[in-house]
Amino acid sequence: MNIWVLISSLILSLGLTASPVHHLPTMILTEDEGVNQIVLEDKVLTGNYQSVPHKIDNKSLGVKVTAESAVVLDLSTGAVLWQKNAEQSRSMASITKLMTALVFLEHNPGWQTTVTFQEIDETNGGTAHILRGETVSVKNLFYTALIASDNNSTNALVRSTGLSHEEFIKLMNQKAQELELLHTSFTGVTGLNDNNQSTALEIAQLAKIAFANEDIKSATSRKTYSFIALSGQAHKIYSTNRSLDDYLKVVAGKTGFITASGYCLVDEIRGNEEQEIIVVILGSETHEDRFQDMKILAAWVLDNFVWS
């Protein structure tokens, strides 16, 4: 570490203002003969901020999770507070739908526009909540796609824009480039495709942007949602995100799973002192493990860092 990095790290540890480019000591989980350790590495971050959370218990070596990769990001500064293989490219499954939602909102035909489900919307994978022939509003499609992670609703939502799947996917990839998510790419809109790839770090950055949108936050913060289709059928859908029922204050979140990705989760969490973090879990071993991994990481970070 050179003298300027050392000085920058000291400034950050004192919670002073530094901008626009700085080095942050980042904790990285490594495994040596099965034992987890935390090592420090300089991570370059950009942007203005007031203060970066600093670790208060340097004797705490962190935690062990089942996830193949994970990251905890401070929402306000973008500082990486904990990571494991955070820059490793992985399949992102239905977390894809956060990008689908962002692109959709730029081409929204109107919330009250109606769509009748067609055979072309149907796909394998997940539970279908709206059936062929039902007519629903775009708003209800949007909520069903994000809350229940419904793939058919996602396809119908994309169709409502008047864009082909190919055109829509091209826009998703263009959006990733605009957001400087250089290791994120899409070949499908639902996340069922193995080739939708990203990293834990870039998913955290995507989630930060997506959850800042009030329409996306409104959907991804709900445990349930009820509506009546224009064709008369009543629907009540339930979130796939069980962490919304947890003791932690989850502001918004999205799950994902396909065989290639393992069990995935991204949550925005608010602490008791209004601290906000993004936790990304990719490749947990089981459905339950992803939520447990998230709780372990969120609790450890909130207990071991101070926001000033």
| CA dist 279 → 45, 107, 149, 265 (Å) | 18, 29, 19, 8
Element of type H or E holding 71: strand 69-74
Q: Nearest-5° angle of CA 257, CA 171, CA 77?
A: 70
Q: Which of 51, 69, 91, 94 is catalytic?
A: 94
Residues 6+ apart with CB under 8 A from 78: 45, 47, 49, 205, 208
Residue 175 catalytic?
no
Q: Which of 8, 51, 97, 208 is catalytic?
A: 97
Separation CA 66–CA 46 (nearest Å): 30
Residue 94 catalytic?
yes
Residue 161 near residue 107, CB atoms below 8 Å: yes
Q: Which of 8, 69, 149, 153 is catalytic?
A: 149
Q: Quick check: bond before 25 cis, omega within 30? A: no
Kindly state the tokens that stand for 236. 């009540």
Residue carrying the six token digits 């071993």: 285
Separation CA 148–CA 138 (nearest Å): 15
Residue 217 catalytic?
no
Residue 249 labeled ligand binder:
no
Q: Where are the beta strands (DSSP E) in 125-261?
A: 135-137, 197-198, 224-228, 234-238, 249-258
Local structure of residue 213 (DSSP, 8 states): S
Active site residues: 94, 97, 149
Binding residues for substrate are 254
Binding residues are 254
